[in-house]
C-alpha cells in the first residue's frame, strides 16, 4: 500500500476534480492517511529485562546467569516489536541494576495504552524442574498473560506450568496492563542450555512473546 507521501502529486493537488472520480480519489487519500495514523498509534510496550548489575537472579552457583539471558531475549523482543511499529521502552539496556520501584515508575509514566512485560527465567534447587510459567496480578492483565503463555508453550514445546496470579512488586504496583513471563528453568540442563546458548531458541521464544503481545494489543 502506498504511503500518502508516495501518491503522485497530481492526485493530491488542489486542481478541480468533479463527480464520482474526484470523490474516489480524495477518499483514497483519506484512507491512506488513516492507515498511516493508525500505524503511528501502535501500542507502547514497556520491556523489563529481569535483574541486572549486582543482582544476577536465580539461585547461588547456578550455571547460567539469569540477568544476561533476560537482557538478550528482551533485546530480540524489542527489535521485533519496533519492526512492527510499536514504541518500546526498556527498563534497562545494559548490565545495570534498576530498583523495582524505578521499573514500575517507568511503566506508570508510559502512555495509558502501554503494556508492561517483565522477562525472567526460572530457577530451582531441583534440576529436573522445567517448563513455562506466566504471572499477572490484576484481572485486566490476565488476557495478555494467557496470550503470551500459550504462544511460548506452543513454540518451545516445554511443560505448561500455568498462568498464575502473583503479588510481585512490578505487577501489583503497576497501573498498566502488566505481566511477568518465566521463560524456562536455567537450572534445568536442557532448558538452561537452550535459553542461554541457542540463538535459534532465543529467537523462537522472542517471536512467541511478540506474537502474544500483538494478539492482544495493536
Query: Residue 58 falls within a domain, yes or no?
Result: yes
Instruction: Let me know whether 108 and 129 are in one domain.
Output: yes
What is the predicted pLDDT for the residue at 218?
Answer: 77
Q: Locate 53 and state its grid cell.
A: 548489575
Instruction: Let me know whether 52 and 31 are in one domain.
Output: no
User: pLDDT digits over 119-154, tens only?
Assistant: 999 999 999 999 999 999 999 999 999 999 999 999
Q: Are 175 and 138 in contact (CB under 8 A)?
A: no
Nearest to 101 by CA among 158, 39, 169, 23: 169
> What is the percent of the chain with per-residue pLDDT over 90, rounded to a whole number?
80
Q: How far apart are CA 78 and CA 93, in angstroms?
A: 10
- pTM score, whole prediction: 0.82
Q: How confident is the model at residue 19 (pLDDT cuts 50, 70, 90)?
A: low
Q: Are 182 and 50 in contact (CB under 8 A)?
A: no
Q: How far apart are CA 211 and CA 5, in angstroms?
A: 30
pLDDT at 50 over 80: yes
Q: Stretch 92-120: mean pLDDT, rounded?
A: 97
- If one counts the domains in the chain, the total is 2
- What is the average pLDDT value for the chain, to the nearest integer? 86
pLDDT at 200 over 80: yes
pLDDT at 14 over 60: no
Instruction: Let me know whether 175 and 204 are in one domain.
Output: yes
| Residue found by looking up cell 474526484 in the block | 22
pLDDT at 26 over 70: no
Q: Stretch 5-24: mean pLDDT, rounded?
A: 40
Q: What angle, 0 to 180 degrees and rounded to 10, lies between the N-to-C axes of helices 199-216 and 66-83?
A: 50
Sign of the alpha-carbon dihedral angle for 157, 160, 164, 168: negative
For residue 53, the enclosing domain spans 42-216
Instruction: Let me know whether 140 and 189 are in one domain.
Output: yes
Q: Determine the Cα angle at 191 with ends 188 and 193, to 5°.
A: 95
User: pLDDT digits over 58-97, tens only?
Assistant: 999 999 999 999 999 999 999 999 999 999 999 999 999 9
pLDDT at 156 over 50: yes
Instruction: Let me know whether 117 and 198 are in one domain.
Output: yes
Instruction: Let me know whether 102 and 34 are in one domain.
Output: no
Amino acid at each position: 500500500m502506498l504511503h500518502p507521501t508516495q501518491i503522485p502529486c497530481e492526485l493530491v493537488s488542489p486542481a478541480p476534480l468533479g463527480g464520482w472520480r474526484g470523490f474516489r480519489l480524495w477518499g483514497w487519500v483519506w484512507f491512506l492517511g488513516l492507515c498511516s495514523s493508525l500505524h503511528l498509534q501502535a501500542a507502547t510496550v514497556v520491556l523489563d529485562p529481569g535483574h541486572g548489575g549486582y543482582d544476577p537472579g536465580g539461585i547461588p552457583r547456578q550455571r547460567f546467569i539469569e540477568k544476561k539471558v533476560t537482557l538478550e531475549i528482551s533485546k530480540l523482543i524489542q527489535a521485533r516489536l519496533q519492526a512492527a511499529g510499536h514504541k518500546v521502552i526498556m527498563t534497562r539496556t545494559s548490565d545495570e541494576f534498576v530498583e523495582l520501584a524505578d521499573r514500575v515508575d517507568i511503566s506508570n509514566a508510559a502512555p495509558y495504552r502501554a503494556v508492561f512485560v517483565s522477562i525472567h527465567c526460572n530457577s530451582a534447587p531441583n534440576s529436573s524442574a522445567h517448563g513455562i510459567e506466566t504471572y499477572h496480578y490484576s484481572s485486566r492483565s490476565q488476557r495478555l498473560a494467557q496470550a503470551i503463555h500459550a504462544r511460548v508453550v506452543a513454540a518451545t514445546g516445554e511443560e505448561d506450568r500455568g498462568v498464575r496470579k502473583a503479588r510481585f512488586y512490578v505487577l501489583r504496583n503497576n497501573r498498566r496492563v502488566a505481566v511477568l513471563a518465566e521463560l524456562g528453568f536455567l537450572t534445568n540442563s536442557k532448558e538452561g542450555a537452550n535459553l542461554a546458548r541457542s540463538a535459534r531458541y532465543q529467537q523462537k521464544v522472542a517471536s512467541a512473546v511478540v506474537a502474544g503481545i500483538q494478539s492482544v494489543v495493536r
